[in-house]
Structure 1
Amino acid sequence: MMHEKDFDICVVGGCGHVGLPLAIAFARAGIDVVVFDVNPVAVESVNSGTMPFKEPQGPELLNEVRANGSLHASTDPSVVARSNAVVVVVGTPVDEHLNPDPHAVPLAVEQLAEHFREGQLLVLRSTVYPGVTRLVEEVVDRLGLGIDVAFCPERIAEGKAFTELYSLPQIVSGRTDSAVKRASELFSRLTSEIVVVSPEEAELAKLFTNTWRYIKFAAANQLYMIANEHGLDFERIRHAITYEYPRAADMPGAGFAAGPCLFKDTMQLAAFNNNNFTLGHASMMVNEGLPLYLVDRMERRFDLKNSTVGILGMAFKAESDDIRSSLSYKLRRILRFKAGTVLCTDPYVTVDADLVPLDEVLERADILVVAAPHPEYRDLDPVQETIDVWNVLGRGVTV
């Protein structure tokens, strides 16, 4: 049972990929942390010492902070009132038409209004639509409780949380000196470098970061398609370009550019600029179009309608169990329309009842597609024709 006590920090929405690593990191720094989440299954999982998702070092570190009593999880919003600082990791969602909802975060804060108390620090942590920090400040001002509001965007990549939380400089923003000072002191418990900007600059810094990565992936995917259309192996060309050539060292390989952040944040930035973002929209068309491009190439080469296709990897990235916005599912949807049978497998994903074991896919499939570059696939030597845009098998990427 969680004892009645005050906490240093409450992480709201804290059982997810952003909030839980942050909560664990703060708890390891000697801070009393409580995680508030509306998902009772995730809360029970955390309190039992079980990570609700895959994150390297997560299970060991969660058990460490649970054992020393520095981290608790609760579905009771009253824990907000018992905390000196409140970190909200609720981000700005986009709807099915790719329109961001700038009111989602202020609404989440407003729903907690009865639990806020005098002099707390409120930190917004997830990606927000530009201007949302100001909207939250207006909500908080109406409460008249003298709460400091800061926006300190998360910067970690899934799978690297417990490295990057400590190694990356933390961007801190606030409207007042007090908010900046308190937020800086808080995150200085994790990292030695703090970069202070205005809230609007911080909002764009987060969106620019993810959009820049999305555009780079789109450039690589477009170059891959150009090479592939002429029967040339993009990976061999990329190696020639990047080998001992610093100015091209950051050219990524081709592959599915997806997940819960990059595409969404690119569309948020477009909406913020009145949909005047040609480069962002072009990147979306390239990256989102890659599954259809691969299927089109497969149709040209194979009798797809009478073939069984096996998809290896359904997570959106390597060594992850996260399927949010994964283009593997878009590929599956297209192939279910175009191919005879589609079989899917993933060594990490546990939430998809349609997945089958890898051995079964290798036995039954006529064609394979490596959709996520999991290391478990590197040593495979399949006899089937294999579409491997990631070059996991090292056989080249030509389709």
Structure 2
Amino acid sequence: MFKELLRKIDDKEYTIGIVGLGYVGLPLMWTFHQAGMPVLGFDIDQDKIDCITEGRPYIKHLGREMMQELAGSDRCEATNQFDRLPEADAIMLCVPTPLDEHREPDMQYVERTCFTVGENLREGQLVVLESTTYPGTTEDLIIPILESKSGLTAGEDFYVAYSPEREDPGNVSFNTAKIPKVVGGHGEEAIRLACAVYDTAIVETVPVSDTKTAEAVKITENVFRAVNIALVNELKVVFRQMDIDVHEVLEAADTKPFGFMKFVPGPGLGGHCIPIDPFYLTWKAREYGQNTRFIELAGEINTSMPQYVIDQALKALNAHKRAMNGSRVLVVGLAYKPDVDDMRESPTFKILDLLKKYGAETGYYDPHIPEIKPTREHEEWTGTKSVEWDEETIRSYDAVIISTDHSEIDYGQLAEWSDCIIDTRDAMNGLAKGPDHVWQA
């Protein structure tokens, strides 16, 4: 069976099944399709299925051309009929792994998906978890569910692997195909099979000894970023008190060709990975009697940044003899990073919440997000629409907070239209008209 599966991969007769067609699953579908593999996508969201079938984009930075090519291909199909899972040779799970209200791992999406996959599992299939999670998830959670629901045995009747997603939405230099894939498997055959599958579409595979090692790799990558972002966020606060521009410091430090890696401060952490994943390790470490003090301290610093932004906004308004309570404050940028429409875990939501708490009348502008769609944690903002970008609208606000520095925003116009700007991204560098015009936050 193993040799026959390798032959099917070589001959591109091996069907890739992808469960979850969001920011990870959709690019993965495209990547395997581009490599000549047949792809079958699964999602519970009928709107996504319709978009793929009709060639309409629902993730802006991926573009219309990609969607139209998927829609017109006889090697690609999307469905919400999960009884078709046996048609796939490999089933890749790309579902959310958020935190619950206690800041602990919420595995309900992974568990539900595994129940469904297990009920439809057949001999010879490869199941790969791509969702970021804590070390031990595949062995302790995924495999027991799949075995109990299918009556099959992992490593004998079917194969299981873990290969963490490494997506960076909007990154024009590194798409899915260009980012090396770490692969860990339940047994040697699972590793070889998973590597063979990814080798058809990804620039490089990096096999590691087992699934928990691969899970630890992904957690380490995101902890590294979270800790370093916390460091520069803390430096920003300290240097401001010293009347030192942290951005100028970082630019100069970045000229050193070794021993330094530049990270950029901001209003807090956003995206599905960095604000969440380190706490998966923190939670798991407690099971082993270990405290992750460094990670938790970084989390405290990063989660405190929206309040720091509000504190600077209070000072900026005060300099203009205005109170926060009753003021109109516009937040520019809802997406968590520039030039994408991804608002998952965006710190802008926390800024909006705090503004409302302080009695401000709020609005937001984002050229990539015309309306706030439903989210798990910020339902009260659902349906809120982006304001228009024109002089009359911008001048109607007492202050503007730049939360995301989209490249298509005309910051020169903003400098002319608003006399009170709180800049969390150094977007107004060189455009300030006076000492009270732009506040660095």
Relative to the length of structure 1, the TM-score reads: 0.92
In structure 2, what residue type is equivalent to 1:210? N
Match of 1:311 among 328, 331, 335: 331
Q: Give runs of aligned pairs for residues 229-244 of structure 1, distance below 5 A.
A: 229-244=241-256
Match of 1:48 among 45, 50, 54: 54
Q: In angstroms, what is the RMSD of aligned CA positions?
A: 2.1
Q: Indicate yes or no: 2:228 matched with 1:216.
A: yes
Other-structure match for 1:385: 420
Other-structure match for 1:119: 124
Other-structure match for 1:332: 352
Over residues 31-64 of structure 1, what are the superposed CA-to-partner deviations in whole Å (9 max), with x where a residue is unaligned?
Answer: 11111100111111111111221224x4212222
Q: Indicate yes or no: 2:199 matched with 1:179.
A: no
Report the Cα offset of residue 177 of structure 1: 1.7
Report the Cα offset of residue 161 of structure 1: 7.9
In structure 2, what residue type is equivalent to 1:261? C
Structure 1's consecutive aligned runs of 4 or more residues displaced over 4 angstroms after TM superposition are none
Q: Indicate yes or no: 2:159 matched with 1:148.
A: yes
In structure 2, what residue type is equivalent to 1:250? K
Where does the alignment leave 5 or more consecutive residues of structure 2 unmatched?
1-12, 373-382, 431-437
C-alpha contact (below 8 Å) 1:220/1:253 kept by paired residues: yes
Match of 1:363 among 371, 378, 395: 395
Cα distance, 1:104–1:48 mapped onto 2, change above 3 Å = closer
Other-structure match for 1:133: 138
Stretch moving more, 361-370 or 177-186:
361-370
Cα distance, 1:273–1:253 mapped onto 2, change above 3 Å = same
Match of 1:36 among 35, 42, 47: 42
Over residues 213-252 of structure 1, what are the superposed CA-to-partner deviations in whole Å (9 max), with x where a residue is unaligned?
Answer: 1111111110001111233321122223223454334243
Q: Indicate yes or no: 2:194 matched with 1:158.
A: no
Equivalent-residue separation in structure 1 for 2:89 and 2:101 (angstroms): 37
Q: Indicate yes or no: 2:418 matched with 1:398.
A: no
SS in 2 for 1:329: helix
Count of paired positions: 392
C-alpha contact (below 8 Å) 1:207/1:265 kept by paired residues: yes
In structure 2, what residue type is equivalent to 1:280? I
Match of 2:314 among 296, 299, 309: 299
Match of 1:10 among 11, 17, 21: 17
Stretch moving more, 104-113 or 63-72:
104-113
Cα distance, 1:113–1:378 mapped onto 2, change above 3 Å = same
Report the Cα offset of residue 349 of structure 1: 0.8
C-alpha contact (below 8 Å) 1:9/1:34 kept by paired residues: yes
Relative to the length of structure 2, the TM-score reads: 0.84
Equivalent-residue separation in structure 2 for 1:161 and 1:133 (angstroms): 32
SS in 1 for 2:275: helix
Stretch moving more, 370-379 or 208-217:
370-379
Match of 1:109 among 101, 109, 114: 114
SS in 1 for 2:269: coil
Match of 1:190 among 197, 201, 218: 201
Other-structure match for 1:278: 293
Report the Cα offset of residue 339 of structure 1: 4.6
Equivalent-residue separation in structure 2 for 1:85 and 1:320 (angstroms): 30
Over residues 254-276 of structure 1, what are the superposed CA-to-partner deviations in whole Å (9 max), with x where a residue is unaligned?
Answer: 44321211111011111011171
C-alpha contact (below 8 Å) 1:218/1:283 kept by paired residues: yes
Q: Indicate yes or no: 2:28 matched with 1:22.
A: yes
SS in 2 for 1:34: strand
Equivalent-residue separation in structure 1 for 2:261 and 2:217 (angstroms): 23
Equivalent-residue separation in structure 1 for 2:173 and 2:314 (angstroms): 43
Equivalent-residue separation in structure 1 for 2:243 and 2:397 (angstroms): 25
In structure 2, what residue type is equivalent to 1:263? P
Equivalent-residue separation in structure 2 for 1:329 and 1:101 (angstroms): 21
Instruction: Give percent identity, aligned residues only.
Output: 26
Equivalent-residue separation in structure 1 for 2:263 and 2:276 (angstroms): 22
Cα distance, 1:147–1:91 mapped onto 2, change above 3 Å = farther
In structure 2, what residue type is equivalent to 1:170? K
Cα distance, 1:387–1:167 mapped onto 2, change above 3 Å = same
Where does the alignment leave 5 or more consecutive residues of structure 1 unmatched?
1-5
Equivalent-residue separation in structure 1 for 2:337 and 2:263 (angstroms): 18
Stretch moving more, 96-105 or 339-348:
96-105
